[in-house]
Amino acid sequence: MRVIHSHRHAGHDGGFELHRGELVPCFETPTRVVHILRALERAEMPVEAPREFSVDALLRVHDAGFVEFLRNAHAQWRAHGRSGSMLPSGFPARGLRRDRIPAGINGMMGHYAFDAGTPIVEGTWDAALSSAQVALTAAALVAEGERSTYALCRPPGHHAGRSTYGGYCFLNNAALAAQELRDRGFGRVAVLDVDYHHGNGTQEIFYTRGDVLFVSIHGTPDTEYPYFLGYADERGIDAGEGFTRNFPLPAGSGWEGYRAALAEALEEIAQFGADALVVSLGVDTFEGDPISSFKLAGRHFPLIGAMIAALLLPTVLVQEGGYAAEEIGENVLGILEAF
Ligand code: SP5
Ligand code: ZN
């Protein structure tokens, strides 16, 4: 399996996030990647740099104003004499206007962000762009005939919507990969999201489309982040009706419940008649994860990998979450080795 990764991820670092009422160092750190790279090295899987894709390639799934905001946000912050990490503190909830984008940086941040856990620092834009290029390259390789590729993306992407960022995500790497596969001739593409958190951004991006199936297994939004999307009654609308499927599980779920949901999710993908697959690969379902509450053990990841690989589809695996840094490499490798 070919592995794509960019060292430019490291520019996104050093932020704090609002967690349980306190500012704490980000859970989503560059160190996560160091552990994954070590595991890949042990498995003798070499890493390749991504190809260049222009900013225009992002506009197939993202809004142009949003991309401009991400690109300039930290420069605007510095122009106001500030330095360091940017976090929003006010959001356009019910009753407030979201048709008008404030000119000032604080209002603009609140407009585009949906949480206070996703800081922007000086290197964030370049890291996010490189992460998107990693996913696009991995998809291009599959379109050119590779059976499967692994996009070692950082920052992650599945919470980023057409014009929103949050959940440690800025650009939606998995959605970009799925779109790239569509554009290169795969008629029907499925996205399987196995991150602990619902992939609200990916769901939103494809919600009205029948050519991309979105299927997600995650902690129930009733109690788990991102709280406001990911229920079983969300099934898609218009041409997308029936092409979104959510499998929310209670916090504390273990292997039995997980395995049953995964089997159903895979059945959906088979029935859809997918020509290619994108996996939003979060390993924050691990029992040792510091911000999540499933009870999967290390030995379960090879089983998950084997179940997904049995679809026998051209597959792009895109790294999402996973915050138990010491174990993240082994858990990711457990999935990859099934391919
Ligand atoms: C890509 C990804 O995995 N993003 C996750 C973002 C989660 N950010 C907020 C986490 C809030 C967790 N609340 C703590 C509950 C501890 N049981
Ligand atoms: Zn997650």
Profile the chain (339 residues) by mean pLDDT over runs of 10 residues.
98 90 94 98 98 96 98 96 93 97 97 97 98 98 98 98 98 99 98 98 99 98 98 98 98 98 98 98 98 98 98 98 95 97
Ligand located closest to 168 CA: 1
Determine the pLDDT at residue 259: 98
* Residue 201, pLDDT score: 99
Instruction: Give the atom of ligand 1 at the shortest distance from the alpha carbon of 19.
Output: 11
pLDDT in the model for residue 325 = 84
- The contacts of residue 194 (CB under 8 Å, 6+ apart) are 216, 217, 262, 279, 280, 281, 282, 285, 304
pLDDT of residue 196: 98
Q: Please provide the size of the chain in residues.
A: 339
The protein residue whose alpha carbon is closest to atom 2 in ligand 1 is 321
**Active-site position among 12, 62, 159, 300:** 159
- Tell whether ligand 1 has an atom less than 6 A from the beta carbon of residue 282: yes
CA dihedral 87, 164, 197, 289 (to 10 degrees): -30
Say if ligand 1 is within 6 A of residue 32 CB: no
Q: Would you say the CB of residue 327 lies under 6 angstroms from ligand 1?
A: no
DSSP characters over 298-332: TTHHHHHHHHHHTT---EEEEE-----HHHHHHHH
From 225, 284, 323, mutation site for ligand 1 pocket: most ligand atoms within 8 A of C-beta:
225
Q: Does the beta carbon of 193 sit less than 6 angstroms from any atom of ligand 1?
A: no
Instruction: Give residue 172's pLDDT.
Output: 99
Atom 13 in ligand 1: residue holding the nearest Cα? 291
Minimum-distance ligand 1 atom for the alpha carbon of 322: 3
pTM (2 d.p.):
0.98
Q: For residue 321, which atom of ligand 1 is closest to its CA? A: 3
Strands 276-281 and 22-25: unpaired
Cβ–ligand 1 distance for 284 under 6 Å, the answer: yes
Q: 291 C-alpha to center of ligand 2: Å?
A: 9
Determine how many CB atoms are found less than 10 A away from the CB of residue 293: 17
* Residue 53: C-alpha distances to residues 47, 111, 136, 180, 271 (Å): 18, 27, 8, 11, 33
Strand runs labelled E in 130-261: 148-152, 189-193, 212-219, 244-249
Looking from the CA of residue 169, the nearest atom of ligand 1 is 1
**Residue 245 beta carbon below 6 angstroms from any ligand 1 atom:** no
Q: Confirm whether 159 is a catalytic residue.
A: yes
Q: Please tell me the residue having the least CA distance from ligand 1 atom 16.
A: 291
| Radius of gyration for the chain, computed over Cα atoms and rounded to the nearest angstrom | 18
Residue type, 80: H
**271: which DSSP letter?**
H
Neighbours of 97 (CB within 10 A): 9
Q: Is the CB of 330 under 6 A from ligand 1?
A: no
Q: Which residue's CA is minimally distant from atom 4 of ligand 1?
A: 167
Position 260, amino acid: A
- Please list, in sequence order, all residues whose beta carbon lies within 8 angstroms of the beta carbon of residue 96, skipping any fewer than 6 positions away: none
Q: Answer for the pair 324, 196: CB distance below 8 angstroms, yes or no.
A: no
| Any ligand 1 atom below 6 A from CB of 167 | yes
Ligand 2 centroid to residue 26 C-alpha, Å: 13
Nearest ligand (C-alpha, residue 292): 1
Residue 109: CB partners within 8 Å, gap ≥ 6?
A: 73, 86, 87, 88, 120
CB 110 within 8 A of CB 137: no
